Amino acid sequence: MTAAVVPEKPELPHGPGTPKKNGAAGAASLRSAARNYVDRVRGGELGALPAVLGLIVLCVFFAVLRPVFLSELNFANLLTQGAGSIAIAMGLVFVLLLGEIDLSAGYASGVCAAVLAILLTDHGWPWYGAAGAAILTGTVIGLVLGLLVAKVGIPSFVVTLAAFLGFQGIVLMLLKEGTNISIRDDTILAVANNNLPPALGWVLLAVSVGAYAAIQLRRSRNRRRRGLAPAPTALLAVRIGGLAALGAIAVHLLNQERSRNVIVDSLKGVPIVVPVIGVLLVAGTFLLQRTSFGLHIYAVGGNAEAARRAGINVAAIRTSAFVICSSLAAVGGIIAASRGNSVDPNTGGSNVLLLAVGAAVIGGTSLFGGRGRIVDAVLGGMVVAVIQNGMGLMGYSSGVKYAVTGSVLLVAAGVDALSRRRAVRR
C-alpha cells in the first residue's frame, strides 16, 4: 500500500490561538477542584468514596465492640490476611475494566501455588526459580483464557467458569488427590510471615513519599511552564501530606512490639507483604494511568467499537488483560502459600475468588467495564479483610462471615449499577 506518513505536527484549520494562561488564585482553584469532585460524585462517579467511608465506619464499629481490633498485632494480621486476595483483585481490575470477568482467578492461583510447592519441596528448586515458574504458569493460563475470549469469541464468563472447574481438578491431580505439601523455603515463607527491620520501614516510607512528592511537583511545574492549569498547590499538599501522615501512623504502629512473649520471639516491623503489594500497586497504577496500553484498556472497556475504529488492536488488549490477571493471581497464590506454610487443594479455592472480586468491586471498579483503578483492589481488599477479621474477633462462625461478605459484595455491585444508571441518564 502507499499510505503516506502522517506528519507529527497538527495542522490547524485556523491560526493557532494563544493557550489560555490560567493563574487563578490557589484558594479559588482548590474550591473549584472540590466542586468538580462533588459534581463527579453527583454524576455517579463515586470512585473510592464508598470504600473509604465503609472502611472508616467498619473500623470504628469493630474498635468500639472489640477494642482488641485496634491492637498492633491485629493490624499486622489484617494486612497479611488481605494481601493474597488483594493481589488477585489487582489482576481482576484489568479484566473488569474490559467489562469481562475471570471466575478462574482463585483456582489459577491454586494451580500456581501447587507448581511452586512441588518445585520447591519435591524438586528442591531455588525460591526464585520456583516463584518464576509459578508466575509463568499464571501467564500461560492467562494467555490461553485470553485467546479463547478474544480470538475464539467465547464469553469470558463461560471460558473462566470452565477453567474454574478444570483448575480445581488440576490442583487435585498435582497434589496427588489432596495431600498437602509444606513449604520450607525461608525466602518464600518470609513473604507473608516476616517483617522488615523497623528502620527499613521508615526508610521505605521516606523514599516512597519523597518519590511521590517529586513526581507530583514536577508534573505541576511542567504544566505551569507550558501555560496549562496545574493541580492546585493546596490539593497537592493535602495529597502528599495525607500519604506521609497515614504512612507514618502505619509504620509507627507496625514497628511496635506485638509479640506476646518477647523473650521467645520478637515481632515488630512492617510485614514484608506490604512493600510487595506496594510495588504491585505502583506498577499497576503506572501501567493503567500513564501508558498507552492502560488508556487502551479503558477505551476498550468504555467503547470497544470506538477503540477498534481508533486503530487499537482490541483482541490483543483483551488477551493481555487476562495474561496480567492470571499472572497476578499467581502472585496471590505465592502469598497464600507463604501465609499457609503449605499448599493444599483448598489453596485458592473456597471463597478466595469471591473475596477478590468483592475487593475490586467494593473498591469502586465497575462490573460494566471502563471504570476502576488498581488502588480499588487495595481499598476494597482492606474492607473485606476488616469484615472477615472483625467478625472473627466477634466470634461469628464462618457461615455468618460468608453471608455478610456476600451481602457487602451485592451492595457494592448495586451501588455500581445505580451510579452507572445515573451517569447514563444524564
Partner 1 sequence: MTTTPILRLRGIDKSFGAVQVLHDVSFDVRPGEVTALVGDNGAGKSTLVKCIGGIHPIDGGEYWFDGERVQVHSPREAAALGVEIVYQDLALCDNLDIVQNMFLGREKRRGLVLDDTTMEEMAARTLEGLSVRTVTSIRQQVSSLSGGQRQTVAIAKAVLWNSKVVVLDEPTAALGVAQTAQVLELVRRLADNGLAVVLISHNMNDVFAVSDRIAALYLGRMAAQVSTSDVTYSQVVELITSGRSGDLGLAHSNGVTA
Residues of this chain that interact with partner 1 (CB under 8 A) are: 1-7, 9-17, 19-20, 43, 45, 222-223, 226-228, 290-292, 295-296, 298-299, 301-303, 305-312, 370-371, 423, 426
Minimum CB distance to partner 1, residue 151 (Å): 17
Q: Which residue, 225 or 260, has its beta carbon nearer to partner 1?
A: 225
CB nearer partner 1, residue 364 or residue 390: 364
Q: How far is the CB of 258 from partner 1 (least distance, A)?
A: 40
Q: Which is nearer to partner 1, 312 or 352 (CB)?
A: 312
3-state secondary structure at position 17:
coil
Question: Is the Cβ of residue 2 or residue 179 nearer to partner 1 in the bound state?
Answer: 2
Question: Residue 231 or 244: which CB sits closer to partner 1?
Answer: 231
Nearest to residue 126, comparing CAs of 184, 191, 194, 193?
184
Nearest distance from residue 317's CB to partner 1, in Å? 11
| Nine cell digits for residue 161 | 467458569
What are all long-range contacts of 361-364, with beta carbons under 8 Å and residues at least 24 apart? 361/96, 361/409, 361/412, 361/413, 361/416, 362/50, 362/51, 362/54, 362/408, 362/409, 362/412, 363/48, 363/51, 363/89, 364/46, 364/47, 364/48, 364/49, 364/50, 364/51
Cα–Cα distance measured from residue 288 to residue 124, given in angstroms and rounded to the nearest whole number: 37
CB of 421 to partner 1, least distance (A): 13
Helix, strand and coil in the chain, % to nearest 5: 70, 0, 25
Q: How many CA atoms lie within 13 A of 184 on its CB side?
A: 9
Q: Which C-beta is closer to partner 1: that of 21 or that of 123?
A: 21
Three-state DSSP class for residue 78: helix
CB of 291 to partner 1, least distance (A): 6
- Smallest distance, Å, CB 283 to partner 1? 12
C-beta separation of 361 from 367 below 8 A = yes
Report the nearest approach of partner 1 to the CB of residue 6 (Å). Answer: 6
Compute CA distances 218 → 185, 290, 337, 404, whole Å: 43, 15, 41, 45
Query: In this complex, which beta carbon is closest to partner 1, that of residue 84 or of residue 370?
Result: 370
Q: Which residues pair with 271 in a beta bridge?
A: 195
C-beta closer to partner 1: residue 94 or 298: 298
**Segment (H or E) for 342:** strand 342-343
Give least dist CB 113 to partner 1, A: 32
Give the separation between CA 349 and CA 164, rounded to whole angstroms: 9
